């Protein structure tokens, strides 16, 4: 199935069931994915990957509809801002690790303080 076909189906679901109903559906799907992930976090040995993947797919379908209901351009703008902030946090962490490695290699890590 192509991305465009998926969008057409999501638009059809909004026409058929209405925005309010599909917002409630999104809430339900968020809850179902939350439960599936909580099970995974609580007991990593008893993982139902198929169920988690199914709930991610359900949520993605409803999130696509939320993009259609609300301001897709604004969502994309906020997503870009959040990804930029995340990149800065990741890069800060990575730079800290590189600094630790450099200190370790120079022997300046202070022994126990070095976690490498």
Q: What is the contact surface with Mg ion in residues (CB under 5 A)? A: 29, 32, 55, 58
The CB-of-75 to Mg ion minimum distance in angstroms stands at 22
Distance of CA 87 to the CA centre of its chain: 14
Cα–Cα nearest to 62, from 31, 3, 22: 22
Tokens of 26: 């999104």
With CB atoms as reference, the residue minimizing the distance to Mg ion is: 58
SS3 category, 107? coil
Q: Which is nearer to Mg ion, 22 or 29 (CB)?
A: 29
Q: Which is nearer to Mg ion, 29 or 64 (CB)?
A: 29
The CB-of-27 to Mg ion minimum distance in angstroms stands at 11
Residue linked to tokens 């450099």: 102
Cα–Cα nearest to 29, from 41, 18, 17, 37: 37
Distance of CA 11 to the CA centre of its chain: 23
Tokens of 37: 């992930």
Q: Which is nearer to Mg ion, 32 or 103 (CB)?
A: 32
Q: Which is nearer to Mg ion, 58 or 60 (CB)?
A: 58
The CB-of-81 to Mg ion minimum distance in angstroms stands at 29
């Amino acid at each position: 199935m192509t991305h465009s076909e998926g969008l057409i189906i999501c638009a059809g679901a909004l026409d058929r069931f209405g925005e309010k109903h599909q917002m409630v559906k999104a809430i339900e799907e968020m809850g179902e994915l939350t439960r599936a992930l909580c099970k995974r976090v609580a007991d990593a040995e008893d993982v139902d990957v198929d169920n988690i993947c199914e709930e991610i797919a359900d949520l993605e379908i409803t999130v696509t509809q939320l993009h259609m209901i609300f301001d897709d351009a604004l969502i994309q703008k906020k997503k870009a801002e959040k990804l930029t902030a995340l990149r800065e946090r990741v890069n800060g962490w990575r730079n800290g690790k590189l600094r630790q490695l450099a200190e370790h290699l120079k022997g300046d890590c202070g022994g126990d303080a070095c976690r490498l």
